[in-house]
């Protein structure tokens, strides 16, 4: 909670400390409030993931402020800073999926067949830098972003199936649905603090002050560090965002 309060303070400070000259030169300054929907997923569905059983919406708000500077005609460049969460909770059916779990006080590794529930939380500060193109009341934007993850979690459980310990022909350990019967895992400590990707979107004006936006942020860096090999697939944060803007200038 302290990290979140500090991040909000940073967002508010952007409008004050040392920003007078930049504000005067900006063509547009917007405050934006949004909600993100997406997931932390591999690129392409691997054969070991058979189906998606359940997907629950999470508390994924975003609060930001950005300034757009004109370059020539409708072209511009946008700089911003945002506080956001990229979180998900999903349950998938898998077969021969490599896992490391804790079950009955023991740490086990092998190939799991059954259901896997995963919960991800990533509270972060994101700085996007985007080229923009204005057409009447609409502004298109595209560019890179970099994020620092302050609070994070990647955990879950394997259930309703069995684990082949060691290799695909190893002894079976059956996992049930109750807390006592399932196998827990927590890979939070292997998550990256710094992330980068591409953000594309569109802003449109409803009135002289209010508007809306749609964004898609596609992560180019995995959520886990490069030496993390427990999960076979490389996972990337891919999130869409919808929200409203308020024009300060």
Q: Report the chain's mean pLDDT, rounded to a whole number.
A: 91
When pLDDT is cut at 50, 70 and 90, the band that residue 36 belongs to is very high
Residue 138 pLDDT greater than 90, yes or no: yes
Nearest-angstrom CA–CA distance, 242 and 173: 44
The whole model's pTM is what?
Answer: 0.86
Mapped onto helix, strand or coil, the DSSP state of residue 137 is coil
Residue in the structure block whose two tokens are 């409008």: 15
Residue 97 pLDDT greater than 80, yes or no: yes
- State residue 105's pLDDT score: 86
Tokens of 103: 């079950």
């Amino acid at each position: 909670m302290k990290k979140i309060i500090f991040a909000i303070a940073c967002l508010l400070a952007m409008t004050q400390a040392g920003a007078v000259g930049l504000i005067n030169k900006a063509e547009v300054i917007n405050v934006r409030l949004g909600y993100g929907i997406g997931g932390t997923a591999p690129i392409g569905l691997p054969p070991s993931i058979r189906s998606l059983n359940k997907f629950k919406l999470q508390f994924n708000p975003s609060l930001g402020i950005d300034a757009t500077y004109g370059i020539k005609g409708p072209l511009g460049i946008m700089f911003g800073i945002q506080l956001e969460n990229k979180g998900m909770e999903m349950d998938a059916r898998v077969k021969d999926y490599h896992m490391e779990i804790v079950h009955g006080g023991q740490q086990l590794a092998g190939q799991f067949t059954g259901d896997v529930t995963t919960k991800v939380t990533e509270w972060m500060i994101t700085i996007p830098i985007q080229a923009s193109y204005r057409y009447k009341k609409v502004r298109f934007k595209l560019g890179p972003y970099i994020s620092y993850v302050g609070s994070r979690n990647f955990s879950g459980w394997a259930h309703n199936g069995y684990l082949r310990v060691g290799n695909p022909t190893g002894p079976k350990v059956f996992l049930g649905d109750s807390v006592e019967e399932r196998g827990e895992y927590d890979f939070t400590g292997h998550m990256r603090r710094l992330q980068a990707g591409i953000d594309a979107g569109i802003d449109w004006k409803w009135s002289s002050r209010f508007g809306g936006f749609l964004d898609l942020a596609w992560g180019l860096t995995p959520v886990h560090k490069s030496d993390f090999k427990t999960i076979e697939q490389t996972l990337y944060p891919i999130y869409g965002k919808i929200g409203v803007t308020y024009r300060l200038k």
